[in-house]
Amino acid sequence: MTKKYFGTDGIRGTVGEYPITPDFFLKLGWAAGRVFAREGQGFVLVGKDTRISGYMFESALEAGLAAAGVNTRLLGPMPTPGIAYLTRTLRAQAGIVISASHNPYYDNGIKFFSTEGTKLPDELEHKIEYYLDQPMTTVESAKLGKAKRISDAAGRYIEFCKASIPASIDFSGLRIVVDCANGATYHIAPHVFREVGAEVIEIAAEPDGLNINEKCGATKPDLLKNAVIDYRADLGIALDGDGDRLIMVDHKGEVVDGDELIFIIAKARKAAGKLQGPIVGTLMSNLGMEHALKKLKVDLLRANVGDRYVMELMKQHGSILGGEGSGHIICLDRTTTGDGVVAALQVLAEVHRTGKSLYELKSEMSKYPQVLVNVKVAKKVDPNSNETIQKA
């Protein structure tokens, strides 16, 4: 059944244009509340990135959930993978992320996590859409939901990230530049890398609500490339606005993309005897990664583009590692979703273990020439529903 509102990664668009409006988010909060409501118990987590419209949509969602009788726990600015982690460990009924990921500040969106910290099943998205088309009602006053803020959310997630690598690893002597994209990782990532011993130079870590992803972050690495050279750093780490993408830069100022990072992590897991199943990439994964993995006797499976499809194929084949060249990297032996900070720590751990530079590790895979072109369309639709594309 085709979904009316939800795309492959939630609902996203330009603020002020339907459905990215406060009245829709109010109704969406109520609809989600009808699906997640438990009589007098439980709560839903709500987090956001740093774009200015997040405050407006947070309030609208909170009101809608309260009208449905659902309690809310507000996280404030928090990386998407952090919300997934906290949803699972705090045993919330669901997690809600207000973010448009790598998009500019004038866009926003929403996506949901299940109580296990994974993307919401289609079945539940269909149920939410059903209630979106029903008249909104309000529970009796004594049953209205309440909202509270969680003050230690950042600390909990920081400790989780650090625990993704052995406690014996110390990155003392490693100088790194961290580009937070003026997004949700600004108060997380620098602390994580400092607390594991690295010397950290942070850039794009002063969000003002309007500068998220502006000429910075994983989709615009020039700022990081220049900073790595200027500060004579060993490497650079670029995250996107909601912290689920990772791109790195070696000491020569060269970009190390998602395919290369996946290969580095795969080789590390293979050497440790901990690689399970094939690696899952996408139709756009570089052929060089496939050939480099083949030399390790590791298979590559290709999913449709989108981390949702990568995750589905990983689960089908018992894989623990997958992702996209754009920087979505999923380490299922560590997380339940793509996590830029956790993925970066896995790469740094391999730099530490081998004594090699990121440039040397990257050079063990030869990328093949590849051209990817983004095509603007007047209206976003599912390409698979187009007869001409199907025939092609």
Q: Tell me, what's the pLDDT at 377?
A: 66
Is pLDDT at 161 greater than 80 in this prediction? yes
pLDDT at 105 over 60: yes
Output the pLDDT for position 40: 55
pLDDT, tens digit, 9 for 90 and up, residues 259-281: 999 999 999 999 999 999 999 99
Rounded CA separation 257/36 (Å):
38
SS (HEC) of 312-324: HHHHHHCCCEEEC
Answer whether 11-151 and 157-362 agree in fold. yes
Give the residue from 312, 316, 302 showing the smallest Cα distance to 337: 312
pLDDT of residue 388: 59
pTM: 0.94
Superfamily, domain 157-362: Alpha-D-Glucose-1,6-Bisphosphate, subunit A, domain 3 (3.40.120.10)
Q: How many CB atoms lie within 10 A of CB 134?
A: 11
Tell me, what's the pLDDT at 371? 76
Q: What is the mean pLDDT of the chain?
A: 95
The pLDDT, as a whole number, for residue 391 is 55
Query: How many Å is the Cα radius of gyration of the chain?
Result: 21
Summarize pLDDT for 307-316 with one digit per residue, the tens.
889 999 999 9
> What long-range pairs does 341-344 form, CB within 8 A, spacing at least 24?
341/79, 341/81, 341/161, 341/185, 341/188, 341/189, 341/192, 341/239, 341/243, 341/246, 342/81, 342/161, 342/164, 343/246, 343/261, 343/265, 344/193, 344/237, 344/239, 344/246, 344/248
pLDDT at 37: 86
Q: What tens digit of pLDDT does each residue of 179-224 get?
A: 999 999 999 999 999 999 999 999 999 999 999 999 999 999 999 9
The H or E element spanning position 202 is: strand 199-203
pLDDT at 370: 80
**Cα(171)–Cα(12) distance, integer angstroms:** 38
**Residues with active-site annotation:** 101
Parse the chain into domains and list their residue ranges: 11-151, 157-362
For a pLDDT cut of 90, what percent of the chain falls above it? 90
> Is the pLDDT confidence value at 381 over 60?
no
Q: Has domain 11-151 been given CATH number 3.40.50.2300?
A: no
Give the CA distances from residue 62 to residues 87, 160, 350, 368, in Å, rounded to whole numbers and listed in that order: 16, 27, 42, 48
DSSP helix/strand/coil, 74: strand
CB atoms within 10 A of CB 195: 14
Structure confidence at residue 386 (pLDDT):
58
Helix (H) or strand (E) holding 330: strand 329-331
